[in-house]
């Protein structure tokens, strides 16, 4: 699977949705559920199909200003690629 491009608009894939409580959010998908915490949750909450990958990365680079911007881009790209492979995210 290819990495998201700057103009890609990540979103939950068809058949996937948020579930659980505000404190215990999970992504529900046909094969199961994934409990999300920390950065993973922050990333997927931004995957609304409206923001581009570049906008999402920009927001995270601002929020985590002490971190290496290139590492943020690489890590988030890899995270989204893994979720796309599992058919949880589409872009």
Give CA–CA dist 25/23, Å, rounded.
6
CA dihedral 28, 35, 7, 63 (to 10 degrees): 150
Confidence (pLDDT) at 22: 85
Q: What is the pTM of this model?
A: 0.90
State residue 1's pLDDT score: 67
**Domains with residue ranges and CATH for the chain:** 11-90 (1.10.10.1150)
Quote the pLDDT of residue 61: 95
Residue 12's DSSP bridge partners are 89
Query: Tens of pLDDT along 16-65?
Result: 999 998 888 999 999 899 998 899 999 999 999 999 999 999 999 999 99
Q: Which of 17, 24, 1 is nearest to 83 (CA)?
A: 1
Confidence of residue 76 (pLDDT cuts 50, 70, 90): very high
Distance CA 89, CA 81 (A): 8
């Amino acid at each position: 699977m290819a990495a998201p491009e700057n103009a890609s608009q990540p979103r939950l894939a068809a058949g996937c949705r948020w579930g659980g409580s505000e404190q215990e959010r999970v992504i529900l998908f046909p094969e199961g559920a994934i409990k999300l915490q920390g950065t993973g949750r922050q990333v997927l909450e931004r995957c609304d199909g409206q923001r581009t990958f570049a906008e999402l990365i920009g927001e995270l680079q601002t929020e985590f200003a002490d971190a290496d911007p290139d590492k943020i881009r690489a890590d988030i790209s890899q995270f989204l690629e893994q979720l796309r492979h599992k058919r949880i995210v589409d872009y």
